[in-house]
């Protein structure tokens, strides 16, 4: 239904939880190297529970390789450095939802080159950021909400 893209993820349980999220939403998970862990590690399998073998997974060698293979007009870049709330974006089946690493986010050059493709999750001033798996769930389920009829027709 959708493509969740993790660019340089660092924390295995986040990736495992997002993998489980992708299985339950019929979404493909893309991991962009370098990764901060091995996807064979016990912690990723544990976080993904018994879902990991059901995951539609694509691993990319670099962000450049990924970006050369997908249309940017189908990509949404999640960042705290945007003014557009995620719920104002118009998601379509097949879109790519990009999330940066837990420690650095998405590269500022990528964000600056694609300002109309950025979205953010509103937060109180006291907060700095949300957990990566939580952020992915919020934006992915908004994309599904906007396309609920198509989702249910295909997967429910």
Domain ranges, ordered by start, for the chain: 3-155
The predicted structure's pLDDT at residue 34 = 97
User: Is 147 a residue whose pLDDT tops 60?
Assistant: yes
CATH, domain 3-155, list 3.30.565.10, 3.40.50.1400, 3.40.1280.10, 3.40.50.720: 3.40.1280.10
Choice between 50 and 137, residue whose per-residue pLDDT is larger: 137
Q: Phi/psi at 60 (nearest 5 deg)?
A: -105, 145
Q: What is the Cα–Cα distance from 80 to 84, expressed in whole angstroms? A: 10
Q: Phi/psi at 101 (nearest 5 deg)?
A: -65, 160
CA 132 to chain centre: 8
- Tell me if 100 sits within 8 A of 106, measured CB to CB: yes
> With bands split at pLDDT 50, 70 and 90, how would you rate the model's confidence at 128?
confident
> With bands split at pLDDT 50, 70 and 90, how would you rate the model's confidence at 104?
very high
Q: What is the Cα–Cα distance from 63 to 115, expressed in whole angstroms? A: 18
> With bands split at pLDDT 50, 70 and 90, how would you rate the model's confidence at 127?
confident
Structure tokens at 153: 């027709």
């Amino acid at each position: 239904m959708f493509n969740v893209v993790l660019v340089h993820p660092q924390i295995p349980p986040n990736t495992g939880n997002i993998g489980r999220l992708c299985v339950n939403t019929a979404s493909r998970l893309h991991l962009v190297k370098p990764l901060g862990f091995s996807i064979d590690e016990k912690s990723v399998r544990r976080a993904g529970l018994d879902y990991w073998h059901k995951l539609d997974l694509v691993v990319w060698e670099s962000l450049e390789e990924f970006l050369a293979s997908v249309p940017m007009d189908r990509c949404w870049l999640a960042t705290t450095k945007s003014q557009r709330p995620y719920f104002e974006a118009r998601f379509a089946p097949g879109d790519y939802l990009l999330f940066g690493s837990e420690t650095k986010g998405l590269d500022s050059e990528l964000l600056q080159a694609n300002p109309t493709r950025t979205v953010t999750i509103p937060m109180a001033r006291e907060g700095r950021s949300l957990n990566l798996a939580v952020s992915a769930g919020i934006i992915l389920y908004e994309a599904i909400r906007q396309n609920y009829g198509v989702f249910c027709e295909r997967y429910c």
